[in-house]
Structure 1
């Protein structure tokens, strides 16, 4: 058996054909914590839900383009590639000439491939730019709120997100980690582009130092850590109380605040209640967050007694008012005076992704050029349903007043919005509005089922590529292991076929094949590193070796430079300093994001807090048909974890199928009982493939019979500043489902018919 190297978002591994069209996998021998998600790969590769041939929704094929509520419900007709190319090219051409390129939404967002060349989003955007551009999206679902906030506070998002201290540095220098959102090690398998050795996962599982984990979930606490069980959504109240203690007990670093920050006087007045009449004391916070006032004071004193790293998970900014825990965390770290010190200050994303705390260099990687987009219209990425439903409506974003374009054609590749978006019933209504929806997909996901034209795409195992993640230590030669399933093609080949129909093939491909592009990207990258004095082998040598250890690159992070000399190494903020009060943000007049960190209470709209976190058994929705994911199901549904007291009050027992519901929708899930969740909290991970069927309890409405929590989450922006995703938490109730149980249908292909 010939084992070859490859990589995925859950890490580098080796793969080999099993001789029967399938694949076998094994982890790298030197990986200290291989991802369990490898267990999904063999079944994913050849599952019955793979899209085998181009397919067109029957209603669109017979009736032509136009809005349709039949998307997601219709049958599909399989056609040949020539027909598919002709149909899609004709609609792209019609829409851009009748309504302009602004009417095309290049909706690619997602985790389609770890490869640097076969990155579906880059491929699609390059193609659309060759035909005049498209309406684009900005930021991401993962930490999009922080991407907008951080430039106002520390000058750039990269200053925090791109230069986190490695776990080795933290182990050497840090006395205490204060982790708002905890340190959930289940997330540390994952990095965009993969991770060669899971050193972050191994270190975070046993950090070897004191950890204060502030979370409603005990599973977010690493070995030896102390669990502060907090009411969901109240982290800011506790952060402010910690800051109040530092201030009133004279434990803050006044010199750092004077030398490196601006606006502390405004923030201090808020802490003391001078500006609103409410001192942010530990007693005040205890009544909100459920952590005793004495525990808050004791923690603040511990933080001031040594080198402390204040870290905030990305999950906390995926909520209404999500800017506040990030900004308050920075303010808390600034009061300790340790920002810019090794192992101290502020971290964002430890426990959220493998690359945060990894040891690899901050290095430019081979990247496919996308060209220039002449269309100026854009949306914050999580506002896609708003855009489709409300063309011409105005919205706020980062101090601007913008207008949603009128989208007539959606072209999506490499992502699954019916996994990662919120309020999926609303998204279904939004997807009914465009005239044409084109989707490239490997499997018959809900996104494919809501398309008009589905173009079958290959998986990473069926093509060649270059793989590397942020802060990774190696570049991986991703060898092809399997033949494409059915008539599937890679996104480059699909888009080259469309480009040919539209007369721009040469401009899109530049005369190169996919393999030619892989070699070209490597050679361009190698030339740049050679000019910097690094020894990098030629492509053939690299490809034969299977991987390349990335060169060491000297690192001098922006906040460390700034700390050394804040007058010369000014941050890209108006003051050149860390802004604990931002006059610019304040001038926007947003009631949901004032000019300094603030407690913004949220209305409770249900008896139970729902936390829709990342699953331990797959990456988002990827791998839901894999063995590891399917084995985790309860009665074929996604498991929901309840505290035993909440279950008993509702007559729910272990393994029962329950209906989870609120005013937006409902889904079925399988009950798991655990005292490792705070009472009043339920956990339903994301990623179960959306499977809407008629709800027997609500005539005329649907419920997801498989357990996708985004049937329940709220589709609103985190604030008018960022318009970031706010889908991490919601409010629901849970009840026994009386049955009979509907069959989960989404793990089988939809009805398909020959042309």
Structure 2
């Protein structure tokens, strides 16, 4: 018997990007643990990923290529060989390209793998799509509005190192349930707490994190920017703004100050539903506590004014002066701190002419409404859009088109895969080479393949290499090996990579990017046109937005007729047991998650004669889904909450929460999952 350990990293859509170690015995992966040497992972994994090896060995895992034999959506397939599958795909893509042009091909990539070689961070497959002239796929489902908003204020998407929260005295966990979605940050929160820090959770729902915080503030969904402006109103009214910092490091302060003064505590209490006395107390605490850190999550920007929320949150530490202190400022995403050569991976220079951009969140629109050219071929990988994207009913109709050729590359036969013409089996993380960072820390990790893939599973990179060959494409870079791709990514002169080599990374498994352990990100100025924090942004004005940071109400809040018919606001947060739709088909985790539930305030339940545990129908003009009612005061009256991720075919209902979500964008792009009015009624007699 031989046994050894292999270093790797979690590929899933979570800010923690965990480093892990796989124990391999006689060619079989027998144990998985967090890497104890990693300063952020610190030897632990989450409840979901702890069972990753069992998931990789699951009996329902795809192991061979499949061809559809039933109607689209029935999920009936027959096994075929790789050569047959690739031949058919190559012929169909070539035919679409010849008749309709390359833009009739939509490569739909998701967040199921965030790797630089196999996944989203490196836009896996981009070289092939560029050579074919396919439409450009824009991943807008996750954090794009918030990234745009922070960029208008600070000139970048970057903020403070989340580890610096250990140095904070006041921590605002704003729209982030870190104990469910990135629990390693909590250790740094607890370090700060041990030194006297006060922790506040700002969330419409009393989540696991909110229960553990010192204080919970529950605004009406989508009103966070108004709440932030109200807190600043208290700061300014007390005369506690940092005038020295404002004078030397910001642009547009007199105008922004006037806007702040419009958001009095009384007005903000009316907008947000937050008790005025609580708002004033927290504003006083913000005024007198340095350093203050804000850790914002992606859920806070999933409504009509989502980008504006992050823009205002980035301005808060400009008013208080917290951007100048270690442990002060805003943490939203650290993704851009890694300076690997992403362009070398994607090779957009291979495009012969500009192509159109199609938005991940507008799949139904793209499949049903686009022409010139219409979408005739859809290649879906690391994504399950029928479950995870808004406008579910329209997506289903689009996928059912007989004239649409659909290929799905995945690990399991998802709801989306049931509509495919060809399904291809992909490798899992223990079976391929990759490089990862995390969007919630400053480390890069090497993922060495630990075991051979089961059956005929192929990595994403190998699948596209073979498809390129089958199509007779001659561009040499289409055939670069995974090791060559890793070298192209890492052999780059960006300062963050100083001291990091491919060999060294491979040997240790991880490395901290070349940044100090404690640093102030904008101590030498902001990368804005003015070189300062911009309360007023000419770039925003040029882009058709309010040049001054402010509050944009959720679109469905102000419509009185809509509010009369659909008086409840639905918020769909992350499950503690799934990561988006990943793991929803794992029996052990599905049992712990339970069936789909919707949580109602006792007052809302009583007014509808709905009892705890009753089957209810959640609906609006866009669609409906069924769930079990859970009557609990973890939500305020007028707000209901559920969790995302359940596969329709596994819960018996078919439709999911996204059947009710509008297929439209926020102010700065991205889905509006939480800008969603619904009504609830009993679905069975009592």
Range of TM-score over shorter length: 0.7 to 0.9
Distance 1:286 1:643, change over 3 A: same
State how far apart, in whole Å, the 1-side matches of 2:419 and 2:200 are.
Answer: 44
Deviations for 1:531-588, whole angstroms, at most 9, x for unmatched residues?
A: 987375847xx75x562444644586652211xxxxxxx6333x44322223443355
User: What is the aligned counterpart of 1:572 among 502, 521, 528?
Assistant: 528
Change (3 A) 1:713 1:53: same
Cα separation, 2, equivalents of 1:306 and 1:548: 35
Correspondent of 1:256 among 242, 245, 252: 245
Give the CA deviation at 1:612. 0.8
Tell me which residue corresponds to 1:397: none
Q: Partners in 1 of 2:543 and 2:36 — Cα distance?
A: 54
- C-alpha separation in 2, matches of 1:285 and 1:527: 48
| Whole-Å separation in 2 of the counterparts to 1:424 and 1:686 | 13
Instruction: Pick the aligned partner of 1:603 from 543, 550, 556.
Output: 556
In the alignment, is the contact (CA less than 8 A) between 2:538 and 2:547 conserved in 1? no
Provide closer, same or farther for how the CA distance between residues 712 and 100 of structure 1 changes in structure 2, counting only shifts above 3 A. same
Contact 1:419 1:710 (C-alpha < 8 Å) held by counterparts: yes
Equivalent in 168, 171, 175 of residue 166 of structure 2: 171
Counterparts of 1:337 and 1:600, CA distance in 2: 27
1:383 aligns with 2:362: yes
| Alignment match of 1:188 (pick from 182, 188, 193) | 182
1:115–1:155 Cα change, 3 Å: closer
| Rounded Cα–Cα distance in structure 1 between residues aligned with 2:375 and 2:513 | 45
Which deviates more from structure 2 when the two are superposed, residues 245-254 or residues 14-23?
14-23
Q: Tell me the alpha carbon deviations over residues 383-432 of structure 1, each in whole angstroms, 9 at most, x when there is no partner.
A: 3333333325xxxxxxxxxxx86322222222222233112112222334
Match of 1:615 in 2: 575
- Asked if structure 2 preserves the Cα contact closer than 8 Å seen for 1:643 and 1:677, the reply is yes
Partner residue in 1 for 2:394: 426
Matched, 1:141 2:125: no
Query: Secondary structure at 2:326's aligned position in 1?
Result: coil
Query: Is the CA contact 1:312–1:325 (under 8 Å) kept in the aligned structure 2?
Result: no
Cα deviation for residue 651 of structure 1 reads 4.4
Q: Per the alignment, do residues 89 and 561 of structure 1 end up closer, same or farther by CA in structure 2, a change over 3 Å counting?
A: same
Q: Are 2:674 and 1:705 equivalent residues in the alignment?
A: no
Match of 1:284 in 2: 267
Give the structure 1 partner of residue 316 of structure 2: 332
Closer, same or farther: CA 118–264 of 1 in aligned 2, 3 Å: same
**Corresponding residue of 1:314:** 298
Cα deviation for residue 466 of structure 1 reads: 4.2
Q: Deviations over 1:683-721 (max 9, x none)?
A: 21111113399xxxxxxxxxx7167322222221002xx
8 Å Cα contact 2:127-2:478 kept in structure 1: no
- Deviation at residue 239 of structure 1 after TM alignment: 1.8
Q: 1:154 maps to which residue? A: 154
Alignment equivalent of 1:439, drawn from 396, 408, 411: 408
Which of the residues 6, 9, 14 maps onto 1:7?
A: 9
Is 1:727 aligned to 2:683, yes or no? no
- What are the Cα deviations for residues 258-309 of structure 1, in whole angstroms up to 9, with x where unaligned? 332222333333344xxxxxx3211111122222222222222221212122
2:662: which partner in 1? 714
Shift in CA distance, 663/80, structure 1 to aligned 2, threshold 3 Å: same
Contact 2:445 2:510 in 1 (8 A): yes
Match of 1:275 in 2: none
Change (3 A) 1:530 1:300: closer
For residues 106-505 of structure 1, what are the structure 2 equivalents within 5 Å?
106-112=107-113, 115-119=115-119, 122-129=123-130, 131-158=131-158, 160=159, 164-167=160-163, 169-172=164-167, 174-189=168-183, 198=184, 200-204=185-189, 207-208=192-193, 209-219=197-207, 220-221=209-210, 223-272=212-261, 279-307=262-290, 308-348=292-332, 362=338, 364=340, 369-372=345-348, 373-374=351-352, 375-391=354-370, 406-433=374-401, 435-470=404-439, 471-473=441-443, 475-481=445-451, 483-504=452-473
Task: Tell me the residue number matched to 1:53.
Answer: 64
Q: CA deviation at 1:648?
A: 4.3
CA deviations on 1:719-741 (whole Å, 9 max, x unpaired) are 2xx2322113422233343289x
**1:280 & 1:532 partners in 2: Cα distance?**
44
Deviation at 1:343, TM superposition (A): 1.6
* CA apart distance, 1:599: 4.3
Give unmatched runs, 5+ long, in structure 2: 558-562
Q: Distance in 1 between matches of 2:65 and 2:467?
A: 13
Question: Using the alignment, how far apart are the partners of 2:287 and 2:141 within structure 1?
Answer: 34
User: How far does residue 328 in structure 1 lie from its aligned partner after superposition?
Assistant: 2.1
For residues 332-361 of structure 1, what are the alpha-carbon distances to aligned partners after superposition, in whole Å with 9 as ceiling and x for unaligned? 322212223222233325xxxxx69xxx98
Is the 1:44–1:625 contact (alpha carbons within 8 Å) kept by the matching residues of 2? no
Kept in 1: contact 2:392–2:655 (CA 8 A): no
Alpha carbons 2:340, 2:497 under 8 Å: kept:
no
The CA distance in 2 between the partners of 1:535 and 1:313, in whole Å, is: 29
Alignment partner, residue 34 of structure 1: 45
Q: Are 1:178 and 1:211, in contact at CA under 8 Å, matched by a contact in 2?
A: yes
TM-score, length-normalised on structure 2? 0.85
Residues 201 and 626 (structure 1 numbering): CA distance in 2 closer, same or farther, change over 3 Å?
Answer: farther
Give the Å deviation of 1:620.
1.0
Q: CA RMSD in A?
A: 3.5
Q: Which runs of 5+ in 1 are unaligned?
A: 60-69, 190-197, 273-278, 350-354, 393-403, 563-569, 694-703, 741-755
Separation in structure 2 between the aligned mates of residue 58 and residue 431 of structure 1, nearest angstrom: 16
Q: What secondary structure, in the 3-state scheme, does the structure 2 residue paired with 1:296 have?
A: helix
Q: Return the alpha-carbon distance in structure 1 between the equivalents of residues 143 and 462 of structure 2.
A: 32
| 1:466–1:518 Cα contact (<8 Å) kept | no
**In the alignment, is residue 682 of structure 1 matched against residue 640 of structure 2?**
yes
Shift of residue 132, structure 1, vs aligned partner: 3.2
Specify the SS of the correspondent of 2:633: coil
The 1:256–1:16 alpha-carbon spacing in structure 2 relative to 1, beyond 3 Å, is closer
The 3-state SS of whatever aligns with 1:560 is coil
CA distance in 2, matches of 1:535, 1:346: 27
Please give the secondary structure, in 2, of the residue aligned with 1:439.
strand
